């Protein structure tokens, strides 16, 4: 099973009207339970709260109204809950040790605290890659590749994870 860390903005792009829903939908379609597919999603509980904030920001900017934002959040919560129940997505709790681990990402990569927590969760969860629409991340978090869902070769990058590395001499 190949674990993919899903940044908050993957959920934002899946649910916010007018965003890149097609790529986010494609990512969610890849996710399957351990015994039924190749990919499983990993994210942390903080991502859910960050999604609320991202929707409220859209309200503040006048992009969507409050009722639409509340409805979108309700759908997102229901879908996330369903993905967790179906074992397609793991919601990792934020613990003190993960917060302490975030320190190395704040100082080493100059990430915001929430992004550093996401990076710590990703690495501690043993993901194959970190998927984001955010440009704040470099190409790698230590040895873990960061795949930008905005890049033209994003789908190919994810599909390459299915190919075992060449170990020939």
Please name which of 20, 29, 72, 82 lies closest in space to residue 51, comparing C-alpha atoms: 72
Q: Tell me what the pLDDT averaged over the chain comes to.
A: 86
**Positions in the chain short of pLDDT 50:** none
Percent of the chain's residues with pLDDT above 90: 49
Output the pTM of the full model. 0.87
Q: What is residue 30's predicted lDDT score, i.e. its pLDDT?
A: 87
| Order of strands, sheet of 129-132, starting from the edge strand that comes earlier in the sequence | 89-92, 39-44, 2-6, 129-132, 144-148, 140-141
CATH architecture for residues 2-158? 3-Layer(aba) Sandwich (3.40)
Closest CA to 148 of 158, 163, 161, 159: 158
What are the angstrom distances between the C-alpha of 154 and each of 69, 101, 139? 28, 28, 12
pLDDT tens digit string along 110-146? Answer: 888 998 999 899 989 999 988 988 776 666 566 788 8
Closest C-alpha to 146, from 159, 163, 133, 165: 133
Locate the domains of the chain by residue range.
2-158
């Amino acid at each position: 099973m190949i674990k993919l860390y899903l940044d908050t903005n993957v959920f934002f792009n899946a649910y916010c009207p007018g965003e890149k829903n097609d790529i986010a939908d494609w990512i969610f379609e890849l996710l399957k339970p351990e015994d039924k597919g190749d990919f499983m999603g990993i994210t942390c509980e903080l991502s859910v709260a960050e999604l609320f904030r991202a929707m409220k920001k859209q309200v503040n900017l006048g992009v969507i109204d409050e009722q639409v934002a509340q409805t979108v959040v309700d759908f997102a919560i229901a879908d996330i809950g369903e993905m967790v129940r179906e074992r397609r997505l793991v919601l990792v709790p934020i613990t003190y040790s993960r917060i302490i681990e975030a320190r190395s990402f704040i100082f080493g990569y100059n990430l915001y605290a929430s992004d550093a927590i996401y990076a710590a969760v990703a690495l501690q969860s043993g993901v194959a890659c970190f998927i984001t629409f955010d440009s704040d991340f470099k190409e790698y978090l230590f040895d873990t590749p960061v795949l930008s869902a905005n890049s033209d070769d994003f789908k190919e990058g994810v599909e390459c994870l299915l190919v075992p590395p060449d170990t020939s001499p």
